[in-house]
Amino acid sequence: MNAPYPREIVRFAHFELDIAAYELRRKGRPIRLERQPMDLLILLVTRRGELVTRDEIIARLWGDGVFVDVETGVNTAVRKIRQALNDSSDDPAFIETVTGKGYRFVASVEAKHSPGGCETTIMVAVLPFVNLSGDPSHEYLADGLTEDMIALLSQLDRQRLRVIGRRSAMSYKSSPKPLATIGTELNVEFIVEGSIRNFGDRWQIRCTLNRASDQVQLWSHSYHRDLVSIGALEREVAFAISEQVQLHLSPERLESVARRHSVDTAAYDLYLRGRRFWNQLTPATTRLAIEYYNRATDIDHDYALAWAGLAEAFASAPINGDADPRVMWPRARDAAESAIRANPSLSEAQHVSGQVQWFFDWDFSAAETAFRKAVALDPSNAWAHTMLSHAVSQMGRHKEARLLMERAFLLEPLSPLHQAMWSQVSFQARDHEHAAERARRAIVIDPEFWVGYMMLGQASEQLGETDIALDALTTATRLSGGNSKPVGLRGYILAKIGQIRPAHEMLTMLDELSRSRYVPPYAPALIYAGLQEDQKVFDALEHAYASRDVHLVFLPVDPKWDRFRAQPSFEVLLQQCGFETNDQP
């Protein structure tokens, strides 16, 4: 199995491929190469000398089940690489065509680590633990052990060890795929498997460590514990695995791992139940997650993970479920502060503190600092990488944002949420084609994921693909239960194409809905923008400012507001919110 390549620089002929920087250079000068050709070049170079089949290329560049002309896409990507390298298909110096099969990188290469990267990174995946108890109600424990093992392993050696994130790992739940295939798809060297089975109040937990490339089992052990000692068991397993992959643990790392969970059995159990509900990301399950997190913190007031989970649920509610930010703000802030007080070295605590500072305080600089702390504390925290990428993107630093998303994608290659967030980051950089491509990948991974359709809608609108945009937003509205974002954007598009009456009907619907619950004023403001009723736009935006509507954070970068940027009232609003306006696109 090839080692992951974020720190590797590969030289061939007069060229240098800096994979960490996602850059191809000739004699030190960057060569422009689009994303798919660059992804393909990285794949070919890291598999140098080997045949890379067209099916493997399609799986890496587009994923399974994509409905585009991938054959033409492969040919185009190869042609663009050859143009960049000044290579010939008839007499190749770099890329050889194996007719009917695929391609092979044939040039001699020199590979070395970039400064600061003196040791090879080890990539590990933890597959979902299997519940063998025969009781479906114990699934929360199996899923919780999976998530905890991912988090614990990622804490062992921040420099050398990277662990695939939960969302990508959970996509293999009940999967029949061979370990070698999973290893290739996730680009990992080692795979951890586990199972749980109960005998009364006692649990048998079995864990194995496998080398992905040849599916050899390197280590296996069965443990018998009661629930109160499962946390200690997880640490035993993590340490055993670290020995197998030859990691050296410092006393500080051991202490950090030991502090991760509550020692109270009931609090730990409630946290795991809450986390399982939170991961379903619906308004109903989020309410249940909040209930369980609250009960866990009532029992153990210093349970940092439970406080962080509670803060994340409150902070995300205005975006995911149109909750009133004036209600969620103090709750999220208090929970985040409790998490930091309980354990400031917990990545999740720093991360959710950044979310509060971003969504509610509108302090992007403080949010960036918190997200960077979260990444430093746990470099395998893909969600922290993604949120940091989003934050710097909104400050106009789009190249840096792209690199951060590349790193997040290495950790979460099969997560629809991360694909959708990458779409948003590309959208903010005005790379609408890539935004649409990432949105489609999110939908392929999870056809019921409403955010993917929302992202496809906004990208397609900018590309002039109105019918695709309206269809995607209709689906997003249905799957989200009527979230204001797809409703507002659909009304905006209808107004722009002259469908005035349907646009006004959507305004009426939002107005009627606002009589029974909070409706973010950003949504009607967007529809008024499409109708070119500018005074009503600013009235709605002032209302949004007064209610701390979290969607205002998109004003500096969303191209739909470009028409208003020269207007003094819009500039004043941005300044009131504390948003920087100098470096925006």
Please determine, for residue 253, whether its predicted confidence score (pLDDT) is greater than 80: no
In tens, the pLDDT along 121-149 reads 788 999 999 999 888 888 888 888 888 88
Please determine, for residue 224, whether its predicted confidence score (pLDDT) is greater than 90: no
Please determine, for residue 111, whether its predicted confidence score (pLDDT) is greater than 90: no
Query: In the β-sheet with 95-98, what is the strand arrangement from edge to edge?
Result: 52-53, 102-105, 95-98
The arithmetic mean of pLDDT across residues 459-470, rounded, is 96
Question: Of 155 and 267, which is predicted with more confidence?
Answer: 267
Q: Lowest-pLDDT range, 175-179, 240-244, 311-315, 435-439? A: 240-244
* Alpha-carbon dihedral angle through residues 238, 241, 245, 249, given to the nearest 10 degrees: 40
**452's tokens:** 């993917």
Going by pLDDT thresholds of 50, 70 and 90, the confidence category of residue 387 is very high
Helix axis angle, 35-46 to 54-61, nearest 10°: 130
Question: Of 404 and 9, which is predicted with more confidence?
Answer: 404
The arithmetic mean of pLDDT across residues 484-496, rounded, is 96
What pLDDT is stored for residue 538 in this prediction?
96
Please determine, for residue 581, whether its predicted confidence score (pLDDT) is greater than 60: no
What pLDDT is stored for residue 114 in this prediction?
46
Q: Lowest-pLDDT range, 364-373, 517-526, 540-549? A: 364-373
> What whole-number distance in Å separates Cα of residue 441 and Cα of residue 447?
10
Please determine, for residue 191, whether its predicted confidence score (pLDDT) is greater than 80: yes
Contacts of 323 (CB under 8 A, 6+ apart): 317, 518
Going by pLDDT thresholds of 50, 70 and 90, the confidence category of residue 95 is very high
Going by pLDDT thresholds of 50, 70 and 90, the confidence category of residue 63 is low
> What whole-number distance in Å separates Cα of residue 473 and Cα of residue 496?
15
What pLDDT is stored for residue 484 in this prediction?
92
What is the pTM assigned to this prediction?
0.73
What pLDDT is stored for residue 466 in this prediction?
96
